[in-house]
Amino acid sequence: MTVKKIIPCLDIKDGQVVKGVNFVNLEKIGQPETLAKFYDQNGADELVFLDISKTEDGHELLLDLIKSTAEEIKIPLTVGGGIQTLEDIEKILKAGADKVSINSAAVSNPEFIQKAVEQFTSEKIVIAVDMKFDENNKDYYVYTHGGNKKVDIKALDWLVKCERLGCGSLLITSLDHDGVKEGFDLPFLKEAADTVSIPIIASGGAGKTEDFLELFTKTKVAAGLAASIFHRKEVDIKDLKNTLSKNGIEVSK
């Protein structure tokens, strides 16, 4: 049995951790370094740091903030948001990140995935897939630029391509479910995990402990990611892991 991971996400805008609903109505939550240290000490398996405005605003990489956050924790740190070049990846890894998460740049130039994997190895390259259900076409499609731009690529087809190009894992966010707290998009995540063999991190929709229990019992995803429910102490990670363990799901202590 695979050990399931619990991963908090720090969405960063203007140097602060923020959170909204469906990627809008953002409110400030706190300082990245403070939250990172708290999660490191309270049972998180990994941490994701997403600069949610870089793709749109085009500001510089937040290297100082990445460095100060990485220095506060021992658990693996994945950094994403507006990564455009191999040089960007190199700078972020040198600043202390263990992995990078790429979305828009990979969609616009899939060869970028292959080049990144060749230079930095597959385990350091996570492809973030923001997806949404299209009622007209009755299928899920890929979105880029912080969930603002629909691309004419079916989400499942894109996952298969990303795996073929060598990425180490996939971070799948349901835009329909993001921040709504009514559970993960189980139908898509089940199909995704049955289709590709690389680890999937599920994001978007966690509202309570039972949502993670349902995620891990009904799909083969490797990890569950959430933000606001952890930031606001609505769900405690240690308590969550105890519940999962009692229900036969293997988690780290």
Domain ranges of the chain: 5-246
- Judge contact between 22 and 178, C-beta under 8 A: yes
How far is residue 207 from each of residues 107, 204, 223, 231, measured CA to CA in Å?
A: 29, 9, 15, 12
Q: Is the pLDDT of residue 14 over 90?
A: no
Number of H helices, E strands in the chain: 11, 12
Question: Looking at the annotation, which residues are catalytic?
Answer: 11, 130
The phi and psi torsions of 68 (rounded to 5 degrees) equal -70, -30
Multiple choice CATH, 5-246, 3.30.420.40, 3.30.1180.20, 3.20.20.70, 3.40.50.1000: 3.20.20.70
Greater pLDDT, 166 or 53: 166
Greater pLDDT, 23 or 85: 85
Q: Positive or negative, the Cα torsion across 134, 140, 143, 146?
A: positive
Q: Is the pLDDT of residue 191 over 70?
A: yes
**Please, which residues have CB within 8 angstroms of residue 68's CB and are 6 or more apart in sequence?**
32, 33
Q: Is the pLDDT of residue 57 over 70?
A: no
Give per-residue pLDDT as tens, 18-38.
Answer: 876 655 667 888 899 999 999
Q: Is the pLDDT of residue 72 over 60?
A: yes
Weakest mean pLDDT among 49-53, 107-111, 223-227, 233-237? 49-53
Report the chain's mean pLDDT, rounded to a whole number. Answer: 93
